[in-house]
Structures are given as structure tokens and as C-alpha cells.
Amino acid sequence: MSAVNPVGNAGHHTGTDTAAHRPRRLSTETKAAFKTTEFFAYIAAVVAVLIASMVVGDDDGHADYFRADQAWLYIVVLTVGYMISRGLAKSGSRDPYDESR
């Protein structure tokens, strides 16, 4: 039985120093979530839904057209959309790795 070493350290493998043989990391997966435009758009949309839910309805005996349960449903939908967009962003982009840290 033979083994192929993809790192190429000439067949010498002790099994104890695997971190030294890993390829150097040149990029991070993506930017941090709070540094993206989609994060700020998500926060603005959540705040807008909450404000709209608070403002609409129940004045002068009118029916409450935008109830709290609807508002929270919309916030859940926004959250799922944001999570999907972050997942897509993480799946295909790279951010240069800053070695000065």
C-alpha cells in the first residue's frame, strides 16, 4: 500500500507537525458581515417594518391593518433572505488576507 503526499515533503511524514505543512492562507472567505452593504440594508428594512407596524392602524377606531404578528413574519422573511444572501456571498468570493494582524 502506498500513500501520496500532496504537500510534497519528499515522503517524510512524522504525523505530529501537520500545521507546518498546510498551504499558506492567501485570502479570507469574505468580508465580515457588519462591513457589507447588505447588512445595513437588512437593518434599515427591519427598522422600517417595525416603524410601519407601530404607525399603521388603531387610530380613530380604524382597524389595525399591520399587526405585530405580520411585522414579525416580515422580519423573519427578511432574516432568511439575509442569511441566504450571506451564504451565497460566502460560497463564491474571497477577500485578500491581511497578514499584518
Q: Is residue 39 part of a domain?
A: yes
Question: Phi and psi at residue 92, in whole multiples of 5°?
Answer: -135, 5
Q: Is residue 16 part of a domain?
A: no
Number of domains the chain contains: 1
pLDDT, position 56: 83
**pTM higher than 0.85:** no
Over residues 72-84, the mean pLDDT reads 94
Q: What is the pLDDT of residues 7-62, one digit of tens each?
A: 555 555 555 556 566 676 666 556 777 777 888 999 999 999 999 988 887 666 66
Structural domain harbouring 50: 25-92
Q: Is residue 11 part of a domain?
A: no
pLDDT at 6 over 60: no
Q: Is residue 13 part of a domain?
A: no
Distance CA 75, CA 39 (A): 14
40, amino acid identity? F
pLDDT, position 67: 86
Distance CA 81, CA 94 (A): 21
Q: Is residue 32 part of a domain?
A: yes
Q: Which three cell numbers stand for residue 27?
A: 485570502
